Structure 1
Amino acid sequence: MNAKLVTLLVCSLSFVALADTPALKTVTVSGSAVMQAKPDAVRLTMQIQQTSEKVSDAKQKVDEQVAAFSQALRKLGVKDDQLNNAPLRIQPDYQHDPERKLPQRYLVSRDITVSLNDLSLYGTVLQQAADLGVTQMNQAEFLVSQSDQLYQKALQQAFAHAKTKAELLAKANGLTLGSAQKINEQGYAPAPVMKMARAMADGAEVSFGQTDIRAEVSVEFEMNSH
């Protein structure tokens, strides 16, 4: 018997064995879970800007304001790794030159990002920003520092939810539920709570709301006969 014939016989036997294997009964279900948590940190993004006929004059004014604001933040306990005041932009201001030939003035600005792990400082930082000449305040991002751990719990609950649904479907078909064959993670949404940052009077009641941390899975389970 030559090698080609042996190979053909082996392939034929394998094909017969696969053909005789009973089809695997499976059910695919989805599961989801949501963990709710109150924000315990906030990221503030703001801007200080000045205009002048000379770039150097505008930059000097901006740098002085930024330095004063940064010093005030450090006195409140904000550390250097919680503060980013490096981004600098310089652009021409054609406001007084409709034909846009030569800029009459220049706009210089710095972006400042402050991360606070203590929400009790929120109102104080906003007040300092207003007092020291912050020009623009963007939306505040309220965050949950333990979002990864909460998501892991939500993921476990999402799988349990999917398994419960699969067990009901298996029972309805007179079968028992087997092991999971495929698991697909479908969702992760620890979205920050976005709010407009604004200066608040002392003693004002502040509510930071809450955020939803969602997990979703799709699971394929084996179903067995009794």
Structure 2
Amino acid sequence: MLEMISHGFMARAFMAGAIIGTLCAIISVFIVLKKISFIGVGVSHSAFGGVAIGALLGINLTVSVFVFSTLVALLIGWLSRRSGAHEDISIGVVFSSSMALGVVALGLMEGYNIDLFSFLFGSILAVSNNDLWIALTALSLVSLVIFALFKELLAYCFDEQWARVCGINVNRLQDTLLVLIAVTVVVSIKLLGIILVSALLVMPGAIGHTLAENYRGQFV
């Protein structure tokens, strides 16, 4: 074990796994509590559209995925408020539309050379120092926002109507949570891939919900 982590790429892989695992676990608690487990699948798979559009326009894929995923998350929140339907319905609509947009963008490219499997399954052994700093920054920012809005987010996820009666700005909290999820997806997708990220956004929260006696205990 010690011999493995003596190699630079293995040490970076272990650190990246710990950072991303912690980041996904923190967000997962709120996803499970709000009962929007499909959001992980929706946003992570919608990122495929960001990859394809970024490749078509010739811009940095990380930037395109971040912008696209954030817009997708905000669109999901807007549609759910506009229609009055549950978030899962909006997620399904945006998810399928984003995937279709990605397929169209790929079809418009000529002679593209992109390993799409790297976005499906990730490449954690290819983590760079820059990737580690980005992941650590994302973990710090997400943790700070959740720490600052912990009670409000908990109230919103537990009972949205009760939170509204208490004077909490539910719409702002919804958008904040969705953006935090989008940031988590963007940072994680390059290292773990689309498929694994969607699982990590649900499993930790589900396990914590089953074993913990209170909401704070779920984070442990």
Normalising by the residue count of structure 2, what TM-score does the alignment of the two structures yield?
0.23
Larger Rg: 1
The structure with the largest helix share of the pair is 2
**Structure with more relative contact order (C-alpha pairs < 8 Å, separation 6 or more):** 2
